Amino acid sequence: MGLVSFLKSKFKKSDEAKVDAKEEASRDTYSKGMEKSRKNFASRLDELSKRYAKVNAEYFEELEEILIESDVGVDLSLRLSERLLNIAKEEKLSEPKDLNERLIDEMFVGYVTKGEAIQNEIAFQESGPTVLLVCGVNGVGKTTSIAKLAYRYMKKGKKVMLVAGDTFRAGAVEQLRVWADRLGCPIIAGKPDSDPASVAYDGAKYAKENNIDLLIVDTAGRLQTKANLMQELAKIRRVLSREIEGAPHESFLIIDATTGQNGVLQAKAFKEVTDLTGIVITKMDGTSKGGIILSIRDELGIPVRFLGLGEGMEDLQEFDLDKYLYGLLLGEKENA
Amino acid sequence: MAFESLSNKFENIFKKLRGNATLSEKNMDDMLKEIRVALLEADVNFKIVKSFTNDVKEKAMGQDVYHKVNPSQMIVKIVHDEIQELLGEDQCEVNYNKGGLTSILLLGLQGTGKTTTAGKLSYLLADKNKKKVLVAALDVYRPGAIEQLEAVIGKTSADFFSLGNKENPMVIARKAKEKALAEHYDVLILDTAGRLQIDEGLMEELRNINHEIHPEEALLLVDAAAGQDAVNVANAFNRDLHLTGVIMSRLDGDARGGAALSIKYLTGLPIKFSGVGEKVSDLEPFYPDRMADRILGMGDVVTLVEKAKETIDEKQAEKDARKLLDGDFTLEDMLRQMKQVQKMGPMRSLLKMIPGMPKITDEQQEKAEQEMKTFEAVIQSMTPYERKHPEILRFSHKNRIAKGSGKTNADVNRVIRKYEQSKEMMKQMKNYQKTGRMPGGMKGPWGN
């Protein structure tokens, strides 16, 4: 059984088994949010396989085009289409439909084998606060993602606390404070333009003294090319690790789904400063296809852990590779 | 390797070409492939890349690049010019409503930098251009947005207008305009909430604001790091709101910003400004030529080619080249070559234009220019015969030359040593490249 048929059967089965309402609802938001990205990619793949009775050079060229236009990246796109071309030759496959399924297989295997096994949920420490450092370039949705993450773990019964480490951007502290009020969780904030590392220190101290389970540290948006700002981030990380052993236990990079190939450079630069344990892709409810998910994993081995699919605090979903690829290939047609 | 600059890729192709100075159609295809990858890695939209590379190929054929002195650079130049042409002229002027209120609507996806740009535009228009500017906060959704705008506007001479986050944005826009008209403001800047182009409700809201205000400028903010989808976003906003231009934000990062090219190509909208930092003064006019360099990921190699073409007399260069290869290279020739290069501009800016060239410090720069002056003084203090036959120079000659030029004997010796080295280098090159021409007269005898 090919991977795709396996995925299909998995989804069919869960449909028949009438999964509990909660999971159903979760898949609904997921489907709705991802509709745009999947519709485009899937319908184009579908259309491609209809136009070609047998695959040929033009077919592979068009396949490459679809991949690149999904922001998968030139390098990986070329490799994928070359790989498929070889598969077609070796296994004498000529049906576009078969090859499309093999494409998804290749993407799946490529993603899974590129790094460690993936666990989406935050790995909590056995004792003491678990520290999550959140970073990214400007305007990707760090603060909103933090609110969503806080909401998620408060619902799971964790004591969550926020640190407003963006002392630079005007309005940033207010933005996080509004969220903290809505969520009803404690927040530590510094004065405007104060040293974010000292705010992080205060936060870590408070967290230790008040039995906080999850300390989420917001940081100012910074372009990865600004050396002094990257130094500042390194300092925040150092202060955290001095106060709490092993901290930050998780470092998430937030990336906008509409980001092009610069996303790989972003991940690379942030990874040098703090050991990134995961990526949150935001704004997946737009029309972009989030191909950057695949190229970052391919180049750096960092897994995507969550997807942001809307503006509400519940609009955060675990990243599910099966669902993502299944959606890409099959579109909403068979999902309806 | 991904993200290598185009010039490095070209260099690699040319390494394979050694001894085979002219360009074949096969090499050209390799180069076009690299151009294609470079453009795609810069996030230029796929469809545009396709037609673009075809255009370049045609142009290159038309200009008969195969027989040019340096075909790879010629191709880079064609690509560069083509991109620059597509990006259009500098169009950084705001369309003012002469004698009345000018309204500017700032739009875009979430997180593209609208609020920061509102501050920068205010600074430009109010502080630099001395206009009376009012800025209205229409983002009633994102927590902290109004506070952010107020703080940013506080750093400029513009005035801030807000009705809090309970009022409908269209109502805020209307009241802001009423105030601006009543109090004789020159400019009204409206900072709207970020939204996805597929969010029907919010796009409807924008249409209403647009209808209410009839802005002179509706500017879309686009992140320099935007990917392939940027054109869909721009198209959707343009269809609904009749944009008048685009502002690229975060051009201070290392994103290549291919979206600028895609959007311009597909919508024809001018790119008016670029955001280059976080301070209110960090808004620059959009420079198509710099953008072209950036998309190609290379130093300003084209300007170098152009400058070289302007300043180097091609016939003389050819004559020099032939002379060099015949081993008939005099001190006079060396001086002429040096001067030709000098005409192209100060050393440092020249070196800066060569991709991959290490940055030289002020000190090194001064030293290099000083050296050039020394050479000139020494050579000009020789008799014409001595210049042609430096081998006759004895100690007494050198003494005289040193005195005449105000330099030391050591300087004179250095010039002669350099000359000998250059001559030797020329001989080696001759052996190496029996046929074909020298790559222009660009390589100075002091070597690089």
Q: Are residues B203 and B265 in the same domain?
A: yes
pLDDT in tens, B94-114: 999 988 999 999 999 999 999
> Domain with B326 in it: what CATH number?
1.10.260.30
> Alpha-carbon Rg of chain B, whole angstroms?
29
Asked, for residue B406, whether it belongs to a domain, the answer is: yes
**Domain termination site, one of B274, B293, B312:** B293
Residue ranges and CATH numbers for the domains of chain A are 3-117 (1.20.120.140), 130-319 (3.40.50.300)
Contacts of A133 (CB under 8 A, 6+ apart): A217, A219, A236, A237, A240, A248, A250, A251, A252, A274
> Domain with B181 in it: what CATH number?
3.40.50.300
Q: Are residues B17 and B72 in the same domain?
A: yes
- Partner-chain contact B43 A261, CB within 8 Å: yes
CA distance, residue A161 to nearest chain B CA (Å): 18
Cβ proximity of B185 and A206 under 8 Å: no
Give the integer Cα–Cα distance in Å for B66 and B70.
9
Backbone angles phi, psi at A78, to 5 degrees: -65, -40
One-letter amino acid for residue B249 of the chain: S
The pLDDT of residue B161 is above 60 = yes
Q: Are residues B81 and B112 in the same domain?
A: no
Domains held by chain B: number = 3
Asked, for residue B281, whether it belongs to a domain, the answer is: yes
Cβ proximity of A14 and A326 under 8 Å: no
ipTM of the modeled complex: 0.81
pLDDT in tens, B141-156: 998 899 999 999 999 9
Q: Using alpha carbons only, what angle is made at residue B194 by residues B190 and B197, rounded to the nearest 5 degrees?
A: 115
Check if B51 contacts A (Cβ < 8 Å): no
Q: Are residues B112 and B229 in the same domain?
A: yes
Check if B4 contacts A (Cβ < 8 Å): no
Name the average pLDDT for chain B: 81
The residue assigned the tokens 């990986």 is A76
Give the integer Cα–Cα distance in Å for A165 and A172.
9
The number of CA neighbours under 13 Å toward the Cβ of B121 is 33
Ordered alpha helix ranges (H), B42-191: 46-62, 71-87, 114-122, 145-153, 169-182
The pLDDT of residue B292 is above 50 = yes
DSSP type of residue B283: E
Q: Are residues B196 and B284 in the same domain?
A: yes
Q: Are residues B154 and B280 in the same domain?
A: yes
Could you tell me the two tokens for A162?
């926020």
Residue B58 structural domain? 6-87
Asked, for residue B94, whether it belongs to a domain, the answer is: no
Q: Are residues B201 and B268 in the same domain?
A: yes
pLDDT at residue A27, rounded to an integer? 54
pLDDT in tens, B401-433: 998 888 888 889 888 888 888 777 777 666 655
Q: Are residues B149 and B284 in the same domain?
A: yes
Question: Across residues A326-332, what is the average pLDDT?
Answer: 59
Q: Which of chain A's residues have a Cβ under 8 Å away from the Cβ of B42? A: 261
Q: Provide the angle, in degrees to the nearest 10, between the axes of the packed helices A74-90 and A292-300.
A: 90
Q: Which of chain B's residues have a Cβ under 8 Å away from the Cβ of A69? A: 45-46, 228
The pLDDT of residue B326 is above 80 = no
User: pLDDT band at residue B256, thresholds of 50, 70 and 90?
Assistant: confident
pLDDT in tens, A241-254: 999 999 999 999 99
pLDDT in tens, A188-235: 998 888 899 999 999 999 999 999 999 999 999 999 888 889 999 999
CA distance, residue A168 to nearest chain B CA (Å): 10
Give the integer Cα–Cα distance in Å for B297 and B290.
10
Cβ proximity of B120 and B280 under 8 Å: yes
Give the integer Cα–Cα distance in Å for A297 and A112.
9
- Partner-chain contact B144 A174, CB within 8 Å: yes
**Which B positions 96-125 lie with beta carbon below 8 A of chain A?**
109-113, 115
Which strand (E) or helix (H) includes residue A219?
strand A214-219
Q: Are residues B138 and B280 in the same domain?
A: yes
Q: Are residues B107 and B176 in the same domain?
A: yes
Q: Which of chain B's residues have a Cβ under 8 Å away from the Cβ of A141? A: 110-111
The pLDDT of residue A20 is above 90 = no
The pLDDT of residue A161 is above 80 = yes
Give the integer Cα–Cα distance in Å for B93 and B339.
40
- Partner-chain contact B148 A171, CB within 8 Å: yes
Low-confidence winner among A24-28, A222-226, A250-254, B280-284 (lowest mean pLDDT): A24-28
Q: Are residues B82 and B174 in the same domain?
A: no
Asked, for residue B446, whether it belongs to a domain, the answer is: no
pLDDT in tens, B164-212: 999 999 999 999 999 999 999 999 999 999 999 989 999 999 999 999 9
Asked, for residue B445, whether it belongs to a domain, the answer is: no
The pLDDT of residue B2 is above 50 = no
Nearest to A174 among B110, B111, B143 (CB): B143
DSSP type of residue A18: T
User: pLDDT band at residue B371, thresholds of 50, 70 and 90?
Assistant: confident
Spatial CA neighbour of B194 closest among B239, B141, B235? B141
Could you tell me the two tokens for B397?
């000659």
Nearest to A262 among B110, B142, B254 (CB): B254
**Across-strand partners of B283?**
B275
**Domain termination site, one of B263, B293, B323:** B293
Contacts of B192 (CB under 8 A, 6+ apart): B105, B106, B107, B114, B138, B139, B169, B206, B209
Check if B233 contacts A (Cβ < 8 Å): yes
Asked, for residue B158, whether it belongs to a domain, the answer is: yes
Spatial CA neighbour of A160 closest among A134, A181, A186, A179? A186
Could you tell me the two tokens for A295?
């190229």
pLDDT at residue B287, rounded to an integer? 85
> Domain with B59 in it: what CATH number?
1.20.120.140
Sign of CA dihedral B191, B197, B202, B208: positive
- Partner-chain contact B255 A262, CB within 8 Å: yes
Q: Is A304 helix (H, G, I), strand (E, B) or coil?
A: strand
Could you tell me the two tokens for A240?
């955290």
**Across-strand partners of A304?**
A279
**Domain termination site, one of B268, B293, B318:** B293
Asked, for residue B83, whether it belongs to a domain, the answer is: yes
Q: Are residues B325 and B369 in the same domain?
A: yes
Sign of CA dihedral B80, B85, B88, B90: positive
Q: Is A318 helix (H, G, I), strand (E, B) or coil?
A: strand
Asked, for residue B144, whether it belongs to a domain, the answer is: yes
pLDDT at residue B387, rounded to an integer? 85
Give the integer Cα–Cα distance in Å for A95 and A90.
14
- Partner-chain contact A262 B225, CB within 8 Å: yes
pLDDT in tens, A91-150: 998 888 888 888 988 999 999 998 877 789 999 999 999 999 999 999 999 999 999 999
